[in-house]
Amino acid sequence: LLMSAFGTRAGYAVDFLSYFCALVSLWLMRSSLPPERERRGSTWEEMREALSYAWARPVLIGTYLVDIVAMIFAFPTALFPAMGELWGGARATGVLYSGLSVGSLVVSLLSGRSARYRRHGAIVITAATLWGVSIIGLGLAGSLWLAFFCLACAGAADGVSAIYRSV
């Protein structure tokens, strides 16, 4: 949308500024990171330890499998250019591409409440279900803004899933 309204330079300038702000934020966060732990073994040993940890927790494996299946079988971005052509060309395609990010941004801004909830596996499964329902809604959408709404809902569901998988 930015590039179609203000040109390519403006789009890349905003992109550059967003990455610059992210790097500055990471640099400012470095003092809050825990000290590095001492390495105990090779990378292969650490990978084996991580996999045995995961396999010992079926809920963890289940949440990863649910999320992987949802993303592999229902990720719609390849269809955005064709859908955009139906609803107005480049601007419509830009709207579609931004939909997932808008939903994720909203969830990120509200993520402080996530520490209150304990049933992470159930939340991930519910979020994956909402992702699927939102993608079905996208497929049935008859207008650009309904499609955007469905994508924003899908992005929000994916954001919730990401938060609780990482917790």
Q: Are 159 and 58 in contact (CB under 8 A)?
A: no
* DSSP-assigned letters across all residues of 20-87: HHHHHHHHHHGGGSPPPPPP-S-HHHHHHHHHHHHHT-HHHHHHHHHHHHHHHHS--GGGHHHHHHHH
Structure-derived torsion over alpha carbons of residues 64, 157, 91, 147, reported in degrees to the nearest 10: 110
Between residues 98 and 8, the one the model is more confident about: 98
Which tokens is 47 given? Answer: 């990978």
- Residue 100: pLDDT band with limits 50, 70, 90: very high
State pTM to two decimals.
0.69
Mean pLDDT of 3-27: 87
By mean pLDDT, which of 51-60, 66-75, 95-104 is the weakest? 66-75
pLDDT digits (tens, 9 = 90+) for 47-69: 888 888 888 887 778 777 877 88
pLDDT digits (tens, 9 = 90+) for 106-134: 998 888 777 677 777 788 888 888 998 99
